[in-house]
Amino acid sequence: MFLGVDLTIHFLWLTGGLVLLYFGAEWLVKGASEIALRLGISPLVVGLTVVAFGTSMPELLVCLKANSPEVIAAPAGWFGFSMEPSAASPDMALGNIVGSNIFNLALILGVAALIRPVAIHAQLIHRELPILLVSSLVFVWMMRDMSLARWEGGVLAVGILGYIIANVRLSKQARYTREFEEFSEEEIEQAKKGGGRVLVDIGLILVGMVALVTGADWLVDHGEKVAQWFGVPDVIISLTLFALGTSLPELATSIVASLKRQGDIITGNAIGSCIFNLLAVMGVTAGVKPLDAGKITWLDLGVMLGLTILMIPLMWSRMSLSRKEGGMLAAIAFGYATLVVVLQR
């Protein structure tokens, strides 16, 4: 009886997490798109930086918790997260990022394209995808000995600083051009006159980020307990549930952005989050404490790198992702998750 009550409570927490994910994504997309309009910054740049950083926060928290539990436990408590120090698990941190990037590219972009075909901005083809490809190649090269040293984490962290600076400079060149064609002239004119609401939009972004991180935390924690209740092995939980759970903010944000026809935020969020995961999250995590892989294999790294390479011709062909291509990407995501379960690593 008590087990049934406990299971019901966990499902209620899961429901609350989903609600927070929805509203967090709604507030984040609304605040980010209005900031872009009010300040004349390209929505793509906002998606690549502000939104990507916000939706990558769960990955950072999970990786630090997994690799350096003693470091993240105290400050996490300040924000209401229940993260008691426990045994370090570098594999969980590495698997979280590798799996998250696979789900970002395959599931997030795939589901968004299934809802509505996604137009691809030229900047993604000419700059962001090459940056993601180089970042992925460097990360895989660093993982040649299945470990990530502190100095390698420092190199990755320096890379994200350069990336952010480059995007800030790019944002200064973007004004009300064709990049804003998804917004009506009335919305643009109203945004130009509404400079005083910039603080409100920043507040929406911050509240949205907190809701997304909290919702993902609830889903991962209570989803893990439900999975254990049904006898799912811990290794499967770490390779699939955590990676998918920390990608839920990106998925929720992309679904909301797709319904609002804001394609630049979708693609910027997905590609930008992958870049942030590899450079910022892995850089900070390894910088705090070196990582040693135990169960991460070349299959996982190969699927992540292969998907990154696949995105270039998919996006370049017609400068869009069709529903058919979205279905293929979503199938790859579910196929990878199934393979991990079948292999029982």
Work out the percent of the chain whose per-residue pLDDT is above 70. 68
b or e along 310-330 (b: 16 or more beta carbons within 10 Å of the residue's beta carbon)?
bbeebbeeeeebeeebbebbb
In the predicted model, is pLDDT for residue 19 greater than 70? yes
pLDDT score, position 156 = 96
pLDDT tens digits, 61-73: 777 777 777 665 5
Between 1 and 262, the more confident residue is 262
Between 81 and 52, the more confident residue is 52
Q: According to the per-residue pLDDT averaged within each range, which of 7-16, 112-121, 186-195 is highest?
A: 112-121
- pLDDT band per the 50, 70, 90 thresholds, residue 180: very low
In the predicted model, is pLDDT for residue 242 greater than 70? no
* Fold adopted by 2-343: A middle domain of Talin 1 (1.20.1420)
Q: According to the per-residue pLDDT averaged within each range, which of 66-75, 158-167, 182-191 is highest?
A: 158-167
pLDDT tens digits, 123-154: 788 888 999 999 999 999 999 998 999 999 99
pLDDT score, position 181 = 47
Q: What is d(CA 243, CA 292) in angstroms, rounded to the nearest whole number?
A: 18
In the predicted model, is pLDDT for residue 81 greater than 70? no
pTM: 0.75
Between 255 and 217, the more confident residue is 255
In the predicted model, is pLDDT for residue 329 greater than 80? yes
Tokens for 87, please give them. 């045994």
Mean pLDDT score across all residues of the chain: 77
In the predicted model, is pLDDT for residue 282 greater than 80? yes
Q: What is d(CA 297, CA 302) in angstroms, rounded to the nearest whole number?
A: 9
In the predicted model, is pLDDT for residue 310 greater than 90? yes
Domain ranges of the chain: 2-343
Work out the percent of the chain whose per-residue pLDDT is above 90. 21
Between 189 and 334, the more confident residue is 334
pLDDT tens digits, 37-48: 676 666 667 667
3-state secondary structure the chain: CHHHHHHHHHHHHHHHHHHHHHHHHHHHHHHHHHHHHHHCCCHHHHHHHHHHHHHCHHHHHHHHHHHCHHHHHHHHHHCCCCCCCCCCCHHHHHHHHHHHHHHHHHHHHHHHHHHCCEECCHHHHHHHHHHHHHHHHHHHHHHHHCEECHHHHHHHHHHHHHHHHHHHHHHHHCCCCHHHCCCCHHHHHHHHHCHHHHHHHHHHHHHHHHHHHHHHHHHHHHHHHHHHHCCCCHHHHHHHHHHHHHHHHHHHHHHHHHHCCCHHHHHHHHHHHHHHHHHHHHHHHHHHCCEECCCCCHHHHHHHHHHHHHHHHHHHHHCEECHHHHHHHHHHHHHHHHHHHHHCC
In the predicted model, is pLDDT for residue 13 greater than 90? no
Q: What is d(CA 213, CA 247) in angstroms, rounded to the nearest whole number?
A: 10
pLDDT tens digits, 204-236: 888 887 887 777 677 667 766 776 676 665 556
pLDDT score, position 253 = 73
Q: Which of 297, 295, 313, 306 is nearest to 333 (CA)?
A: 306
Q: Which of 24, 22, 56, 51 is nearest to 35 (CA)?
A: 51
Between 246 and 56, the more confident residue is 56
- pLDDT band per the 50, 70, 90 thresholds, residue 99: confident
pLDDT score, position 177 = 46
